Chain A
Amino acid sequence: MLVAGVDVGSTQTKAVVMDGEPKVVGRSLIETGARLTEAAQEAFSLAVVDAGAEERDVASVVGTGYGRYRVEFGETQVTEISCHARGAVFLFPNTTSVLDVGGQDTKAIRVGGDGQVLDFCMNDKCSAGTGRFLGAASQALELPLGDLGPLALTAKNPVKMTTTCTVFAESEILGWLALGRKMEDVLLGVHVAIASRSVSLLRRVGIEPEITFTGGVSRNAAMVKLLEELTDCPINVSEESHYCGAIGASLYALDRALTRAAAGASGGVLP
């Protein structure tokens, strides 16, 4: 049995195909762009190809992410809060706290043993201190996103950013550079600002080990290191962390497929 989860995020769309074990057998990641339905369909198709399967083999699809209602071929939609919680516990079964730093949202979630959301907190409506802030830094410094973390880790003397506002980030970064501060010191300052904001959100739901870090920013090594320092806890990250929402969505899809199978129904949801 195959199932899928499609996470239509503000920046990127991720899709995962899982088997009944459950194990991830296919995945894809594309830029979301302006056409959400098309992005969802494309990510799903690519993940199915990656799994070496065909769309008709997929028994259930669940959509998540801010564009979840555009996963029109999905059976249902579940918020990314529930999906990240479920996905994090799947990846690290002893998870009690989840931090998801995405493109425009930061979420702190306290979870139960079965991936149940016990409590959650999100950033205010604006994208201050989210992944978008790193995006602004990458633009201001003309560096690829993937280079930010490694470069920040070489810093010795981080600047103290006074803002986590995405709009003001660029002018402050340029201001520090104009004062002659090294690029890596400015970058580490940027990371510290985001990490502190994320940790204060985590505190709102309670910091308890194990903490699992999910979302696109979890691939950033400097963020992981800073979060460990600030929480005084090891932080779980995995190669799959970026796909955590889609993994959670496919677990919800699996629930549905299994319930249906138990009830004697058969066949996939797609023609």
Chain B
Amino acid sequence: MAEQKVAERKRPGDGAAPHSELIGATRAESRGLIETWWQEMSEADAEGRPVANVFVMGSIAEILRCFDLPMSFPEITSLQTAVRGKQMEMLVAAEDYGYSPDICGYVKVDVGLHLTGRNHPSGKLPRPALVVSPNTCNTYIKWSEIWERMYGCPVFVLDLPGWRGTGGSVLPGSEEFERDRRYVEGQLRELIALCERITGKTLDLDRLREVMGEVNALAGLYDEVVAENKHHPAPFDAMLDGLNYMGIANAYRGDSRGTAFMRLARDELRERVRLGMGAIPDEKYRLLLIGTACYSHFRRFLELFHSWGGVFAHSEYMSFAGGGIDRGIRYELERPIESMAEQILWSAQQSFSGIFFSQDWQARIVREWDIDGICFHGIKSCRTVSTGLPDEREWQMRTNDIPGLFIQSDLVDARLWSDAQMKNRIDAFFEALASRKAAARR
């Protein structure tokens, strides 16, 4: 293992922190933090304290944290169920109940968990006392209605208006943007009132500033983490480690433990870069992932790329699932609620419109992260991230001469995984990349 070689490669007297302490520290820390997160949710449930169900594309953790509401992220808990290999029983339970096979796999795994006693492989899935549902994915709203029916909990739908113009023509500061910002700010104030009713607490503005300050710090560190992968070899795999970074960034958003984690991740990556340690032993190809991984076959999915020396140097997932932390969130703490409304609106608008301008984002990442090819992974049960992928692939090839691979499976549904077909397409893609590199050398 690459990690075992580190101690041997330690150079005495170079003034850096001991390598053995930093290398591998991020993964260990993330495991610990996820365990703690589960403990907090399970305890809250056992003690009958309210828990909020929230989503990765707009959790509004900044406000909920001020009311000490533990947050459950059903997308993350469903994903974890699949990584732990327990998703099929949940999918079947949801389908037996009447949900169609076409519905988002995350929803069905979650419904299955709720129908079968909320026994998640990592702990007790709490009963929601409140749901905050942004309109960043249509499914969020329908999903929230399921809990509303099951538990009678209030659902707060955060309506974020899209761009009123094309290509970012309606910028912050413009009259139209200001109108939308006020609309979002009004909703945030309603959410605060709802949280006050549910918890019996009053919003402490100083606490809110503190939490938002942590988000500012987290976002800055997150940018640094992602940028470390511009190095060769890439010190982390955006599909594997990127998922950890993203998970902690969501679960601990606005919490000093999350900020400390991201600082640790950045420091470990810098150490790896200094030592020339790549995420995989022999990096040959640098890839960008569009879509998500297939979590029912996560190890295998990675292996199919890693075995060719392919590392994911970047992933779109690290962008869209972060509730705007990659979009340069810098809250102005002297006017917290106004500033929050502005930033949430701006990042959501960029995400909404991202679908129409994704080619520009992809081309920039390819340039700056020195990417050899893009893997477009279509998710059968998620149209939100899969729409237009074959066209994007074609566009990048024709317009920018960027090689692309299009494959399809699902987030969690093992029935939609076909190993031979996946391997065939991935192998062919790497063969083409190899001959392309060979031709470039000639």
What residues make up the interface of A, taking CB atoms closer than 8 Å to B? 66, 78-82, 105, 112, 114, 116-122, 124-125, 204-206
Contact = CB atoms under 8 A, between A and B. Distances in A.
A124 B408 contact: yes
Nearest to A252: B431
A116 B437 CA distance: 11
A204 B394 contact: yes
Nearest to B391: A204
Contact of A118 (B394, B421, B432): B432
Interface string B396-433: 01100001101010000000101011001101110110
Contact of A116 (B390, B404, B427, B435): B435
Contacts of A117: 428, 431-432, 435
A204 B398 CA distance: 10
Contact of B403 (A80, A105, A119, A124): A119
A124 B428 CA distance: 15
B406 A79 contact: no
A-B complex: 4 closest residue pairs judged by Cβ atoms: A81-B428, A117-B432, A79-B428, A116-B435
Interface of B: 390, 393-394, 397-398, 403-404, 406, 408, 416, 418, 420-421, 424-425, 427-429, 431-432, 435-436, 439
Nearest to A124: B408
Contacts of B404: 119
Contacts of A82: 428, 431-432, 435
Nearest to A115: B435
Contacts of B418: 125
14 contacts: A66-B424, A79-B431, A81-B428, A81-B431, A82-B428, A116-B435, A117-B428, A117-B432, A117-B435, A122-B424, A122-B425, A124-B408, A125-B421, A204-B394
A36 to B, nearest CB: 11
A125 B432 CA distance: 20
Contact of A121 (B406, B408, B420): B406
A205 B393 CA distance: 10
A266 B277 CA distance: 39
Given A116-B435, A119-B403, A124-B408, A206 B428 contact: no
Contacts of A120: 428-429, 432
A251 to B, nearest CB: 13
Most interface-central of B404, B425, B428 (chain A CB within 10 A): B428
A76 to B, nearest CB: 11
Contacts of A79: 424, 427-428, 431
* Chain B contact residues, majority secondary structure: helix
Given A112-B439, A118-B432, 19 more contacts: A79-B424, A79-B428, A81-B424, A82-B428, A82-B435, A116-B436, A117-B431, A117-B432, A118-B436, A120-B428, A120-B429, A121-B406, A122-B424, A124-B408, A125-B408, A125-B416, A204-B390, A204-B393, A206-B398
Contacts of B425: 122
A27 B439 CA distance: 31
A167 to B, nearest CB: 16
A114 B420 CA distance: 27
Contacts of B394: 204
A82 to B, nearest CB: 4
A112 B394 CA distance: 17
A204 B439 CA distance: 23
A125 B420 CA distance: 10
Contacts of A204: 390, 393-394
Contacts of A112: 439
Nearest to A123: B421
A40 to B, nearest CB: 15
Contacts of B436: 116, 118
A81 B427 CA distance: 9
Most interface-central of B393, B397, B436 (chain A CB within 10 A): B397
Most interface-central of B420, B421, B432, B435 (chain A CB within 10 A): B432
Contacts of B428: 79-82, 117, 120
A125 B410 CA distance: 12
B408 A116 contact: no
B348 to A, nearest CB: 32
B137 to A, nearest CB: 23
A114 B438 CA distance: 12
Contacts of A205: 397
A204 B421 CA distance: 19
A121 B406 CA distance: 8
A119 B420 CA distance: 20
B74 to A, nearest CB: 28
A249 B394 CA distance: 27
Contacts of B408: 124-125
A92 to B, nearest CB: 19
Nearest to A10: B420
A114 B421 CA distance: 26
Contacts of A206: 398
B424 to A, nearest CB: 6
A205 B406 CA distance: 12
A122 B408 CA distance: 11
Nearest to B436: A116
Nearest to B439: A116
Nearest to A78: B431
A125 B425 CA distance: 11
A82 B427 CA distance: 10
A120 B405 CA distance: 8
Nearest to A77: B427
Contacts of A105: 424
Nearest to A107: B428
A118 B397 CA distance: 9
A110 B276 CA distance: 37
Contacts of A119: 397, 403-404, 432
A121 B431 CA distance: 14
Nearest to B430: A79
B422 to A, nearest CB: 9
Nearest to A79: B428
A118 B403 CA distance: 8
A108 to B, nearest CB: 11
